[in-house]
Amino acid sequence: MQTTYTSKQLKSQAKGQLIGHYTGAIGAEVTAFSLIFCLSLFSSSMTDPYSLLGLIFRLAITFIISLLQSIFLFGLTKYYLNTVTAKTPKLVDILSGFSSHADRIILAKLFLMLLEAVCLIPFIASVFVYLHFRNPLLFVLACFLFVCAIIGLAFIGLTYSQIYYLFLDFPQAGVKQILRMSREMMKGNKARLLYIEISFIPYDILGLLSLGIAYLWITPFKRMVRTHFYLSSI
């Protein structure tokens, strides 16, 4: 049964749940980040950014890495759900996406990337047109399309924010079904999640002020709040 908790209650629950679990959560975050970072570093060192072929190769590698990122995100989601549900979270949880749901996660991610591309293409096209003609009116149009793209990306992000949790909760469901479930789940909840995400801005400022060190604690906290949001919304 759905219980609507306020942002403050969700944060309080997340903070309480994380006490005593920070070491493991930070370890999981750092491991996932390091693996992705090493892959990115390795791929960028292999390509020559000044040739067309190198540029295409780098774009392809970036695309593959973003797909891998989604699998790690699924693993991290499992880690935090295990923490919340009083199971013993393990570091190997972050790799669980590779063994169980990789194909479905990649399909869902591809769909989301396609939607994001649809949002961004008009803006990118308008920038190219502006750079060619240098018309002030086209600049205004590009700015307007940029705002539209941001709104569209935020809408997509919020609508399909629950897919990784749903993949875990409904292992038998197909990709289309999961996407539909996420859409239905977020009906009437998008503003609530947006408010929660905006309320993280002061934490982000603290993270930046500490040169990123505070993100080691802030990131697990954010993910835990999102996990509690899912549990309170389903």
Partner 1 sequence: MDFYQNSRNNDSVQPFDAVAKPGNALASASMILGIVSIGSAFLIPVLLPFVCGALAITFALLSKGYDNRLSGRAVAGLATAIAGIVLHLITIITTIFLITTLPAYQEQFQRIYDQLYEETYGDDFHYDHPQSTHDFSDFLPGGLN
130 binds partner 1 (CB under 8 A): no
CA distances from 196 to 185, 199, 223, 227 (A): 16, 5, 11, 12
Q: Map the footprint of partner 1 across residues 57-96, applying CB under 8 A.
A: 81, 84-87
d(CA 95, CA 93): 5
# residues near partner 1 by CB under 8 A: 32
DSSP result, 50-92? TSHHHHHHHHHHHHHHHHHHHHHHHHHHHHHHHHHTTS---GG
CB of 224 to partner 1, least distance (A): 10
Give CA–CA dist 232/212, Å, rounded. Answer: 30
CB of 107 to partner 1, least distance (A): 20
H helix or E strand, kind and range, residue 165: helix 163-169
Tokens of 156: 């997509």
Q: Which of 221, 222, 226, 233 binds partner 1 (CB under 8 A)?
A: 221
Binding mask 27-56 for partner 1 (x = CB under 8 A): ------------------------------
Output the smallest distance, CB 1 to partner 1, in A.
10
Q: Are 159 and 186 in contact (CB under 8 A)?
A: yes
The DSSP line for 112-152 is HHHHHHHHHHHHHHHHHHHHHH--HHHHHHHHHHHHHHHHH
- Compute the least distance from the CB of residue 31 to partner 1, in Å: 21
Give the x/- contact pattern for partner 1 in 166-195, rule: CB under 8 A: --xxxx------------------------
Identify the residue among 4, 15, 42, 150 touching partner 1 (CB under 8 A).
15
Is there binding between residue 218 and partner 1 (CB under 8 A)? yes
Q: Which stretch binds partner 1 (CB under 8 A): 103-111, 118-126, 179-187, 202-210?
A: 202-210
Select from 140, 113, 104, 18 the least CA-distant residue to 59: 113
> Which residues make up the interface to partner 1 (CB under 8 A)?
5, 9, 12-13, 15-20, 22, 81, 84-87, 168-171, 203, 206-207, 209-211, 213-214, 217-218, 221, 231
